[in-house]
A and B are shown apart, each in its own frame.
Chain A
Amino acid sequence: MDNNHSVFIYEQCRFFSDAEFEDEDSNYYRDTDREAKRRRPKEKKTRERKEREKKRSAKNGESNGKAGNNVRGQPEEEQRGRKGRRRRGKEEEKAPVDGGDEEVDREVQKRRKTRGNRKATKHLKEEKEEENSNHKRQRPSKAEKDMKPSQRKTKKKEEDEPEKIDKGRKKRKVKVETSSESSDSSEEEESSEEEDGDDGEEGTEAVLGALTPEELEKLKEAVDERKKLIGTIRAKPWAMKKKLQTLRESQEFVEKYEGALGKGRGRKLYAYKVMMRKKWMKFQRDFENFKTACIPWEMKIKDIESHFGSSVASYFIFLRWMYGVNMILFGLTFGLVMVPEALMGRPYGSIPRKTVPRADEAGAMDFAVLWDFGGYAKYSVLFYGYYNNQRTIGWLKFRLPLSYFLVGVGIVAYSYMVVIRTMARNANEQGGGDETNYNFSWKLFTSWDYLIGNPETADNKFASITTSFKEAIVEEQESRKDDNIHLTRFLRVLANFLVLCCLAGSGYLIYFVVRRSQKFALDGLENYGWWERNEVNMVMSLLGMFCPMLFDVISSLENYHPRIALQWQLGRIFALFLGNLYTFIIALMDEINLKRKEEETVKFNMTAWQASLYNGTIGDNVTLSSITVDPADVPRGPCWETMVGQEFVRLIISDTMTTYVTLLIGDFLRALIVRFLNYCWCWDLEYGFPSYSEFDVSGNVLGLIFNQGMIWMGAFYAPCLPALNLLRLHVSMYLQCWAVMCCNVPQERVFKASGSNNFYMAMLLVILFLSTLPAIYTIVSIPPSFDCGPFSGKSRMFDVIQETLETDFPAWFGKVFSYASNPGLVLPFILLMVLAIYYLNSTSKSYKQANLDLKKKLQTQNEENKKKNKTAALKAANDLEEARNAVSLLQQQQSNNNASKQDDRRLDSSQQNRQQADNRPNYRETRHTAHPAKSHCGHSDPRRHIDRSPTPRRPGMSGYLPGLPHHPASKVPRHPHIHLQE
C-alpha cells in the first residue's frame, strides 16, 4: 500500500506541476475546492463505496481528457478490480451528476453531526488524502460547471443547519468572483481577508495535520490570492513603500508554499523539478551568452561600438571578416601546398633549387638577411622557387605542381565568391526596413535593453544610445541644411583639383624612386646602404601615410555630410594607393624582364659550365647523375618568381611596420604626451592644439584592402603570404582595439555607417579584380624559370592542367574537355550566362520597385488613418466640451434645487449623469474614449456610476495612462461596493 501510495503521490505531483503551468485560472481551483469539500465525508464510508466513487471520478476525469495520469497511477490491484467493474462504472456515470451530488451532501450531513469523531486513524487520513487529490485531479464536471450559482444556492437551501458554514463560504466566494471581475482589487483584498479569517475558524475546527486537505485548500487559495496580488500590485493606489513590502511578502509566501501545495511527500520531487526547470532556463541563457562569446572579438567590437559609434565598429567588423577570409586562404595554401612539400617533397639540400648557393652560404643565417627574406628563408617552402617540378611526390602520389596551380586559382576564385556573396547579402539588408519614419521615437522608446544586469554594460549601453542619438541628430540636421550652393560647388571643384595635383605629385615621386632604384639595381645593390635599397617601400609607405592626412584637410573645404565625406576620402585614398601599387607593379615588370634576360645568359653559361664539367664533351648524352656535384655549387638562374614573391613579402612587412609604428607614435605617444604633459603646460592640450587623435576609419580600411590586394597578387609566388597576413591581422586586431580604446577620442561628428560596409566590399572587389590582373598576366604570358618552381621545364604555367589531363585521366575525358573548351561551345554558354544575369538583375529591380510601392502604400494608409483619428478626436473633444457645459449647468440648477437634501445629492446627480448618458450616447462614448481605463468599471452595473464623484472632470485634471486601471482612492468611498453586494 505504501509503495502504491508513493506512486500515486508522484502522479499527483505531476498533475499539479502541469496544472500550475498550464492552467492558472483561479476559478478552477475554487471549483475543485468546492467539490472536494462536498465530498469530504467519504472517509467514513466503506472501502468499496470509496472505490466506486473514485472510479466514477476517474471516469469524469477521463471525459475531460485528464484521466490518463490517473489510470496510469492507480495501484495495480485496483486497476484489476476496475476492469471488471468498468461497465458498472459507466452505467453509474450515466446517472445525473446532480443526484450523485445530493447523495454526497446527505452523507455530509450525517458526518457533520459526528464531527467530533473526525480524529481518524492515520490510515484513514491517508486514504482521505488520496481521494481528495483524486478529486482535485479532475476538472469540474460539465454539469456542475453549467450550474449557476443561484441554482446552487437553492440546492443548498434544502440542506440542514450544519451545512450553513459551507454555504456562507460559497456565497462569499461568489462575491469574490464578481469583485474580481470588476477588477477592483482593494475590494477583493478585503473579501479575501475575510475569507482568511473564516478559513482560520474552520482550520481550528478541523483537525490540523500537516497535510489535511482543508489546509491544502486554504494554502492554495492563499497562494492564488497572493499571485493575483502580485499581478495587480502596480495598479494599487498605495504608497510605493507599501507596494514594495507587500510585493516582497507575497512573493516570499508564494515561493514558500507553492511547492508545498498538495504535495505531501512529493514536495521534494516538486522542488527538484522546479529547480531543474530553473537550471535549464539558466543553462539556456548561459548557452546564448556562450554563443555570443564564441563569435571572435564580439565583445570588444561591441564595446568599441558603444563608445565610438558604428563607423569605427564597421572597420573592426570588416577586419574580422577579412580575418575569416584569410583563414581560409591560409588553410588552402598551408594544407595543400606548404605542408605536403615540407613533409613529402625532397629535403633541403638535395637539389640545387633547394640549396643556398655557395656564395650566399656565409651570411645566409644573418638576421638582416633573414629579415629581408633572403638566405635560408628564400630557399624554403615560403617561396615559389623552392618547389620541385616532380609530378607526384611521396607515397600518396600527391600531384604538387597541379595542387600548386589549383590552389593559386582557388584562392582567387574563393575570394571572388565570398566578396560577391557578402555584397549580395548586404544589399539585401539595405533594401528592407523603414529607416526614415519615427526614427527618434523608435530610438527613444525602444533602445534600452532591459536584460542588462551589469553596471558596466549598462554604462556601455547608455553610451551607445547617446551615440546613436547623436548620429540621428546629425543625420537630421544634414538633411535639412541648405547653403550657398555655388560657393560649395566651387570649393568642391577646387578641392578635387588640389587632390588631383597631390595624386599626380605622389605618382611622379614614386615613378622617380622606381627609376632610381632600377639604376641602383643595375649598379649592384651592394654598393648602397639600407636607405637606398628600401627607398621604394619607404616612399610608398610615407606617401600612403601622409597623403590621406592632406586629403583630409582638403576635404574640410567641401563641407559634405560625414558619411559622404568618408566615401570621397576613401575614393581618393583608393586612387592614391592604386597609383602607388601599379607603379610598383610596373617597376616589378621591368625587373622581371631584366631577370629574364639574365636568365638567358645563365642558361648559356650553364651549358658552358656543364661542358667544362665534362671536359669538353659537349653534346654527349651523358646524364648528370654520373658526376656528383654539390648542389650548392651548381650555377642557377635568377628565378624571377621568387623575386616577385620576396618583393611582395617585403612590401607587406614594411607596410605592417609602418602601420604599427604610426599607431604607436601617432596615437599612443601623442596620447601619453597630451595626457601627462597637460599637468604642466601653459594651454590645454586635451581640448586645444594636439588633442587626442581620432580613429581614421578610411585610412585603416583602405590599408586593409590594399594589403589584401597585395596578398592576392603575391600569394601565387609566395605561399607564405596568407600566413603572414593572418598574423598581421590578428595582431592588428588586438593592437588597434587597444589603441582605440586607450588613446583615441570619438569623432566630433559621429555618424552612422550603415551604408559603408557595402562600399568597403565594392572597393575590395575592385581591388581584387585589379590585383588578379597582373597575377594572371604573369601566369599566362611569361614562361616560368627553367630551374626553379613547380612548373620549371614547361613553356607556360597552366600546361600543368593539360599534362594532368593527358596522364591522369582517361583519353575520352581529354577529348570531352577539348570539345567543351571549343569556342563554339564556350561562346554560347557565356552568352547564356549574360542573359541569365540580365534577367535576374531586371527581376530583382522590379521586386525592389514593388517593395517600395508597398512601403509607400503603407505610409499613405498610415497617414490617412492618422488624419481620420485626428478628426474623430476633435469631434469627440467638441462633444465632450458641450456635454460638460450641459452637465455643469444642470448641476448648478440641481444644487440650487436640492440644497436641503444634501444626503441624496450625490446619488441624484449621478442619476442625472446617467440620464444624460442615456440621452446622449455620444457623451458616454467620449467618456470612454477619453479614459479607457475607466470604461470597464461601469458596464456590468449601471449603478456603479455612484462611485464616481458627480462633478465632471475638469480639463486641467491630470489624466491616467491607458491600460492601467485607475483607483481614485481619495475620492471613492468604499462602502457603495459593499452595499451593492449585500
Chain B
Amino acid sequence: MSVCVCVYVRVRMVSPAIALAFVPLLLTVLIRYRFHLVLLWRAVVLRCFYDWSSGLTREERAFEYVLTHATPGEPNSILDAFDAWCHSKEFISHIGPKKGVCILDRLVLETSPLCVLELGTHCGYSSVRIARVLPVGARLITVEMDERNANIAEKVIRLAGYDDDTVELRVGVSEEVIPRLREEMGVDRVDLVFMDHWKRCYLPDLQLLEASGLLGRGSVVLADNVLFPGAPHFLRYTRACGLYTLRIHRATLEYSPGIQDGMAQLEYIGVNVDT
C-alpha cells in the first residue's frame, strides 16, 4: 500500500486507483517468487551485512562454526555442522544434503571410481562428501580457484581426516589445472568429474577434459546447478555433441525448497567407431 502511495506522490498524473490496481500484480510477484526473494535476502543482503560487521568472509564464518560444532576426524559430523549452518545462518551454494545423498553419494557408490576430479572445492563440503564414500585406494583431486577458500577447504578436509593421498587440493583456475593433470599428477583417466564451480566454466572445462583425453568410455561427469542458476550452453552442447548420454536429475536448490534445480549426469560413450 505504501508503495502505491509513493508512486502516487511521485507521479502526479496517475490516479491512486490505477496505482492500486497494480497491487494484485505486486502480490502475485511476491508470492510466486518468494523463494527467490528469500534466497536474495540470505545470499546477498545478509552476507554483505555480516561481511561488513564481522570483517570475515562467509566461508571463514562457516569454518568457525564447524570448528566449534563438529567432531574432528568424523566427516559426517562436519557435514552436519555445515548443513546446520547453512540452514539457520547463511547460504552457501554447495551441494546440499538432499542432492548429496540422493545423487552424488549414490553415483560414487555405484561407479566406485578410482580417480575423481572435483572442480570448485569452495569450503570442501563436497570433497568430504565424496571422499567419505570413495573405495579404498581411490584418489580425489579437487581444484579451487580462490586462495582464501582453498585454505579453508584444506583445513576442513584435513579436519575430516583425509590425508594428501586421498584428497589432493590444487589451487588454480580449472582451465590451467586440467591440461597439466596428466603430467603433474600422473592421471591417465578420470572416472568421475564433479563440477560445481562457475557455471560459465562448465562448457570450456568439459571440452578441455575431452581434448586432454582424460575421459574414457564410462567416465561420468556430474554437473550441479544446471537449471538454477543454470548452464544453458553446457546443456545444449551435451545434448548436441553425441559423446554423452545425458540424464538430468530434477531436484530443488540446496537449502531452499521452492526453487527448481537440476543436476546433469553425463556418461561418456565416446565416438562410435562402428558407424
- List residues of A whose CB falls within 8 A of some B CB: 502, 505-506, 509, 512-513, 516, 529, 531-532, 535, 538-539, 542-543, 546-547, 549-550, 552-554, 678, 682-689
Contacts and interface: CB of A to CB of B under 8 A. Distances in A.
A241 B36 CA distance: 60
A535 B36 CA distance: 34
A661 to B, nearest CB: 14
Contacts of A683: 199, 228-230
B17 A512 contact: yes
A304 B232 CA distance: 26
A682 B17 contact: no
Contacts of B14: 531
Nearest to B231: A684
Contacts, number: 82
Interface centre among B21, B23, B28, B31 (most CB of A within 10 A): B21
Interface string B5-31: 000000001110110111111011001
A538 B232 contact: no
Interface residues of B, number: 28
B232 A535 contact: no
A148 to B, nearest CB: 61
Contact of B18 (A505, A539, A553, A686): A539
Given A683-B230, A684-B230, A549 B25 contact: yes
Given A546-B28, A549-B28, A550-B27, A688 B230 contact: yes
24 contacts: A509-B17, A509-B21, A513-B17, A516-B15, A516-B17, A531-B15, A535-B15, A535-B17, A539-B20, A543-B21, A546-B21, A546-B22, A546-B28, A549-B28, A553-B28, A553-B32, A554-B31, A683-B199, A683-B229, A684-B228, A684-B230, A684-B231, A687-B262, A689-B228
A682 B199 contact: yes
A686 B24 CA distance: 25
> Which 7 A/B pairs are nearest by Cβ-Cβ distance?
A684-B230, A683-B229, A542-B21, A546-B24, A546-B25, A549-B28, A550-B24
Contacts of A539: 17-18, 20-21
Query: A interface, by DSSP: helix, strand, loop or mixed?
Result: helix
A553 B31 contact: yes
Given A531-B18, A539-B17, A682 B229 contact: yes
A535 B28 contact: no
A538 B18 CA distance: 7
A572 to B, nearest CB: 12
Interface of B: 13-15, 17-18, 20-25, 27-28, 31-33, 36, 199-200, 226-232, 260, 262
Nearest to B17: A513
Nearest to A540: B21
A529 B14 CA distance: 10
B58 to A, nearest CB: 19
Nearest to B33: A689
Given A553-B28, A553-B32, A689-B36, A535 B18 contact: yes
A682 B233 CA distance: 11
A513 B28 CA distance: 22
A505 B260 CA distance: 33
Given A550-B31, A685-B230, A687-B228, 5 more contacts: A512-B17, A535-B15, A535-B17, A688-B228, A689-B33
A542 B22 contact: yes
Given A509-B20, A513-B17, A535-B18, A687 B25 contact: no
A534 to B, nearest CB: 9
B41 to A, nearest CB: 16
A538 B21 contact: yes
Contacts of A546: 21-25, 28
Contacts of B226: 684
Interface centre among B17, B22, B228, B231 (most CB of A within 10 A): B17
A449 B262 CA distance: 36
A512 B17 CA distance: 8
B42 to A, nearest CB: 17
Contacts of B18: 531, 535, 538-539, 542
A661 B227 CA distance: 30
A552 B27 CA distance: 11
B128 to A, nearest CB: 27
Contacts of B22: 542, 546
B233 to A, nearest CB: 8
Contacts of B23: 505, 546
A512 B15 CA distance: 12
A684 B200 CA distance: 11
B229 A684 contact: yes
A667 B36 CA distance: 22
Contacts of A516: 15, 17
A77 to B, nearest CB: 76
A687 B226 CA distance: 9
B17 A547 contact: no
A512 B231 CA distance: 49
Contact of A543 (B24, B32, B229, B230): B24
